[in-house]
Amino acid sequence: MSRPVLFDFFATWCGPCRMQTPIIEELAKKMGETVEIRKVDVDQEMELAGKYGIRVVPTLIIEKDGKVVQSLEGVTDAATLEKLLTPLVG
């Protein structure tokens, strides 16, 4: 069974993105290997950002088995992310 993937689309110049980073790090510690977390700098990875239609940073995309399950724009708290990811694990 594949793990869900959490894409964190961010930009280095983005203030809210800097607020999102410690939330993602906390989530990574809590959920460990059950979730794959990929940080994506939209200025470096424009093609990938385009593929997912990213217009706002931060944007979090949750994918399972290659399909987008959830897309969240703006800063999202760890409890919300955990609630969305837990059913997708295992």
Could you read off the pLDDT of 21-61 as tens digits, one per residue?
Answer: 999 999 999 999 999 999 999 999 999 999 999 999 999 99
Averaged pLDDT of the chain: 96
pLDDT at residue 1 tops 80:
no
Per the CB < 8 A criterion, the answer to whether 12 and 43 are in contact is yes
- Catalytic annotation, pick one of 6, 11, 17, 54: 17
Classified as helix, coil or strand, 26 is: helix
Beta bridge partners of 68: 63
Beta strands in the chain (DSSP E): 5-10, 36-41, 59-64, 67-73
For residue 19, what pLDDT is reported? 97
Q: What's the predicted TM-score (pTM) here? A: 0.94
The verdict on whether 9 is a catalytic residue reads no
The verdict on whether 17 is a catalytic residue reads yes
For residue 90, what pLDDT is reported? 74
